[in-house]
Amino acid sequence: MPPVDSTPDIKPGNFELMYSSKAYNRIPVHEYRSKETGLTLVIAEVEGPVVNGFFCLVTEAFDDDGLPHTLEHLIFLGSETYPYKGVLDLLANRCLASGTNAWTDIDHTCYTMETAGSEGFLSLMPIFLDHILYPILSDEGFITEVHHITSEGEDAGVVYCEMQGRENSAESRLHLTMARKMYPGHCGYSSETGGIMKNLRETCNNTKVKTYHKEFYRPENLKIIITGQVKPEDVFKALEPLEMKIRSKGDRGPFTRPWQNPCPPVESSENVIIKYPSDDEKNGIFSAAWRGPSAVNDQYTLMSCSILLKYLTAFAVSPLQREFVEVNDPYASKVVYSLSENSESCLYFIFENVPKAKLCLIKPKLDEILANIVENEDIDMERMKNIINRAKLESLSNMENNPHQAIAFMIVGHMLYGNTKEDLEQRINPLVDLDKT
């Protein structure tokens, strides 16, 4: 049977079709780019009545002022066309939306909305995008939302209180220290994009926020990801007023894509002790991290590393669980792994609830176990096969239960570190790589 052409038969106007593919060989995915403004639009035809929008920008910061996170909060305080706080959520309710939201990660910021049906989505989307590209960013809004001092002399502000609640937790201090050791020197991966309290009090200001917005919140750096049943021509029509406004603003100057500089190398291994405030002085956390393969040009090896880490930590029979947890005198209550998908990735284990006296014993024992696996112990291929099959089932289950988020995260990954249609197809069809493993 000849292959079916999934390219949509539409008149795209200013938008030209870049890619057409299928996620999991089932859900059509089309990417368009505006020839005049550089806006990128991705439509994934997920079945069902709900339409989701993910408006994503690649962001990079080299300090701890928390400019990406601060700007994310200030976006919701009003735009040039809608200069009032709360208007966005008020209109969202009238468009049958379950509110609006956003998150800030180390390498991108994403704004989200969800509506019942495409009509409300197409009405709300241009208003949300106007907030993103043309916010007010008033000094009064910055003082109220980010940091101010109350009449009682206490530090306050939504952003400040949010960071105050987690800055000195064991997990946050561990993660930030590990990032700074794994990505030394001038590298955005070592920054605290949420902002640290000292910087929010002393060095973060609205002038810096405006400069940051001008640098990164540009049409060329914005990817509009829509998942659901919506007609591309209706989206193009809804975006026309925004495109006209972008053109009316004139030349924006040259744009340099973030995350293009190579990460400085890790010169040597290092043991670091981190102290943190805690009610419990009996237990601590241990982590061991390594630099891994690139998310830009070695996606298959990166996926293989995640399978290997799962083999080492998942279930009671795994080597690390067996040696550290399932013993008479446990070294930890749990051993888990994580993987940071960066331009040069970071792979790490975390040992939770480690008795303080055993914190110094984990590294030599871990080195011994890993060396023994490499030199003496054979990989249990039957168990490895089961783990790969389980990974396939988990991937399919995630696509079935959360198709909107699953596809959006894959496209965000391609936005950050992909360059070609082949990169996109590799990300939205992970079962192909799992079958090769």
User: CATH 3.30.830.10: which residues of the chain?
Assistant: 15-248, 283-379
Cα separation of 56 and 58, whole Å? 7
The pLDDT of residue 113 is 97
Structure tokens that stand for 59 in this block: 């962001």
Residue 226 tokens read as 């829509």
Report the alpha-carbon distance of residue 178 to residue 405 in Å, rounded: 28
> Are 65 and 188 contacting, i.e. CB atoms less than 8 angstroms apart?
no
E strand map for 269-361: 283-291, 334-340, 346-355
- For residue 5, the model assigns a pLDDT of 54
Q: Report d(CA 33, CA 19) in Å as an integer.
A: 10
Give the model's pLDDT for residue 12: 59
To 10 degrees, what angle do helices 87-94 and 118-133 make? 170
Residue 124 near residue 115 (C-beta atoms within 8 A):
yes
- Spatial strand order of the sheet with 50-58 comes to 15-23, 27-34, 40-44, 222-227, 50-58, 108-116, 97-104
Rounded CA-CA distance 389/394 in Å is: 9
Q: Tokens standing for 292?
A: 């891994």
The predicted structure's pLDDT at residue 44: 98
Cβ of 101: how many Cβ atoms within 10 Å? 11
Superfamily of segment(s) 283-379: Metalloenzyme, LuxS/M16 peptidase-like (3.30.830.10)
Dihedral sign computed on CA atoms, order 355, 360, 362, 368: negative
Which residue type does 330 have? P
Tens of pLDDT along the chain (437 residues) come to 444 555 555 555 689 999 999 999 999 999 999 999 999 999 999 999 999 999 999 999 999 999 999 999 999 999 999 999 989 999 999 999 988 999 999 999 999 999 999 999 999 999 999 999 999 999 999 999 999 999 999 999 999 999 999 999 999 999 999 999 999 999 999 999 999 999 999 999 999 999 999 999 999 999 999 999 999 999 999 999 999 999 999 888 889 899 999 999 998 999 999 999 988 889 999 999 999 999 998 999 999 999 999 999 998 899 999 999 999 999 999 999 999 999 999 999 999 999 999 999 999 999 999 999 998 888 889 999 999 999 999 999 999 999 999 999 999 999 999 989 999 999 999 999 999 87
CA distance 435 to 437: 6
Interior angle at CA 383, CA 377 and CA 387, nearest 5: 125
Q: What is the pLDDT of residue 1?
A: 41
pTM of the predicted model, to two decimals?
0.93
Position 404, amino acid: H
Contact between 369 and 320 (Cβ < 8 Å): yes
For residue 161, how many other CB atoms are within 10 A of its CB?
12
Helix (H), strand (E) counts: the chain: 16, 12
What contacts 416, CB < 8 A, 6 or more positions away?
58, 107, 108, 259, 295
pLDDT of residue 11: 55
Sole residue written with tokens 């051993």: 335
**DSSP-assigned beta bridge partners for residue 224:** 41, 55
What is 15-248's CATH number?
3.30.830.10
| pLDDT score of 408 | 97
